[in-house]
Copies of this chain bind each other. A is one copy, B any other.
Amino acid sequence: MKQALSSCLAKIRELHLDAFLISDPLNIAYLTDFSQGADGYLLVSSDAQLFYFTNFLYEAVARQVKCWKVIAQKGNIFKHVAGQIEKLGAKKAAFEPKHIPFLEYKKIKESLDAAGVDFYPAIDLIEKIRAIKTKEEISYIQKSTLITKEALDFVSQADLKASTEKELSIEIERFLKLKGDNEVAFPTIVASGKNSAYPHHVAGTSPINKNIFLIDLGSKYYKYCADLTRVFFEGKISTSVRKIYDIVRKAQELSIAKIKDGAKASEVDAAARGFINKKGYGKYFGHGLGHGVGIAVHELPFINAVNEESLREGMVITVEPAIYLEGKFGIRIEDMVLVESQGCKVLSA
C-alpha cells in the first residue's frame, strides 16, 4: 500500500473514525495515483476498504486505479456514497469541509442522519500528510523545478517572436507542457514594466518592456508543481531598481539561511521581512514569504508572520520576498526549497 494511504489510515484510526469521505480532487489524485476524471469521491474505511465513486463516463479510466473498488454511477452519486457508508456499519464518518459544496454535504448528511451515522468535519487531514514529501515526491518536484528553470533559460536565450505579455506566456506554457504534464501548475504571469508591481497580474496585451519584466511560472511533472519567479532586465539596470533588487535578494538569502527542521515558519518569514522593514520597504511587501508546493501549487505549510508551526524535514516550500512599488515596478524573487534536518537545499539553485 502507498505510504500516503497508510498515513491516511493511521490518522483515521487515531481519530476513531469508521470512515472518511474525500472530495478534494487533489487529495483524490494524491491517494490514487490518478489525476484524470477526479470527479468523484474516495471512501476509506478504518479497516482499509477503499472505494472510488465516480461518474459512469469515467468508468473505463477509473478501472486503471488499482486497489480501489470503483463504483461508477449514472445520476445521483450521493445516495451511493451514503449507502456505502451505512453498509460498512460506520457509526462515525468524517468529510472534508473545505472541499465539499454545501449541497453535496447536505444530501449525504440527510441520508446518514436517517441511518444514525454521525458525520463530522475533519479539516486538513490529508493536507497535513501531503505537507511532508516522500523521496519519490521530491524527485518529481525536482524534475518539475528543472523543467521550469529550462523554461526560464528558454525565455532568456531564445529569439522569441512573442511581443506581448500574453504571447510570451503562451510560448512559456507550450514549453512547460511539452516537457512536463499536459497542464501547467498555474497560469503563467508575465508582468511587464509597471505591471510587475501587481503580485497577481494577468498576462495581457501590454507589449513586453524588455527593460524590466517579471515572470512567475511553474511546470507540473507527474502531477507535482514547481513555482519560480524571476525578474528579467535588458540593458543598464537603473540605480533605483538595482537597490530594490539587492534588498529582495538579500532578504531571500537571510530567510533561506534560517530554514531547517524545527525552525518556525514565522521566524523564517521574519528574517526576510525584518530586513525589508529595516530598509524602509516593509509596507511594500504585503504577502507572506512563501508556501508549500506539491500536488497543489499552494499548500501547507504557509510561511508568514503568524504561522507558529515548525518546518519539518521533507517539506518543500517557496521563499518569495518582494517589494512592490505601485506605478513604478515590482521585484519578487521566488525559489523552491527542500527542508532538511540540518538546513535546506535550494531545488531551483
Q: Which residue of B lies closest to A199 (CB)?
A: B57
Flag if B103 contacts A58 (CB, 8 Å).
Answer: no
| Interface pair A182/B187, CB less than 8 Å apart | yes
Q: How large is the interface on A (under 10, 10 to 19, 20 to 34, 35 or more residues)?
A: 35 or more
The smallest beta-carbon distance between A33 and chain B, in angstroms, is: 14
Question: Which chain B residues lie closer than 8 Å to A199 at the CB level?
Answer: 57
Given A97-B106, A103-B98, A103-B123, A178:B182 Cβ within 8 A: no
Closest approach, in angstroms, between the C-beta of A61 and any C-beta of chain B? 7
Contacts of A166 in B (CB 8 A): 177, 182
Which residue of B60, B198, B201 is within 8 Å of A198 (Cβ)?
Answer: B60
A284 CB-CB contact with B under 8 Å: no
A57→B97 contact, CB < 8 A = no
Q: Name 20 interchain pairs, CB-CB below 8 A, sorted by A.
A: A36-B200, A56-B286, A57-B287, A60-B198, A61-B201, A61-B202, A97-B101, A98-B101, A98-B102, A100-B101, A100-B102, A101-B102, A102-B105, A166-B177, A170-B177, A173-B174, A173-B177, A182-B187, A182-B202, A183-B187
Binary per-residue interface labels of chain A (186-219) against chain B in the complex, 1 for a CB within 8 Å, 0 otherwise:
0100000000001111110000000000000000
Q: Are B97 and A121 in contact (CB under 8 A)?
A: no
Residues on A close to B: CB < 8 A?
Answer: 36-37, 56-58, 60-61, 95, 97-103, 105-106, 121, 123, 166-167, 169-171, 173-174, 177-178, 182-183, 187, 198-203, 286-287, 326
Nearest-Cβ distance from residue A144 to partner chain B, whole angstroms: 16
Q: Which 3 A-B pairs have the closest CB atoms?
A: A97-B103, A97-B102, A102-B105
Q: Which residues of chain B are near A36, meaning CB under 8 Å?
A: 200, 202
Across the interface, A121 reaches (CB within 8 A) one of B37, B61, B103, B203, namely: B103
CB-CB under 8 A from A200, the residues of chain B are 36-37, 57-58, 61
Tell me, in angstroms, the Cα distance from A170 to B99 when the chains sit together.
30
Residues of chain B lying within 8 A (CB to CB) of residue A95 = 102
Copies in the complex: 2
Residues on B with beta carbons closer than 8 Å to the beta carbon of A56 = 286
Among the listed B101, B171, B182, which residue makes an inter-chain contact with A101, where contact means beta carbons less than 8 Å apart?
A: B101
User: Told that A95-B102, A170-B178, A182-B203 touch, could you supply 11 new A-B pairs with CB distance under 8 A?
Assistant: A58-B200, A60-B326, A97-B106, A98-B102, A99-B101, A100-B101, A101-B102, A102-B105, A103-B121, A106-B121, A183-B187
CB contacts (< 8 Å) of A37 on chain B: these are 200, 202
Contacts of A60 in B (CB 8 A): 198, 326
Q: Which residue of B lies closest to A190 (CB)?
A: B182
Contacts of A169 in B (CB 8 A): 182
Give Cα A36 to B198, complex, Å.
13
CA A170 – CA B36 in complex, angstroms?
17
Task: State the Cβ distance, A203 to closest chain B Cβ, in Å.
Answer: 6
* Chain B residues, Cβ within 8 Å of A201: 61
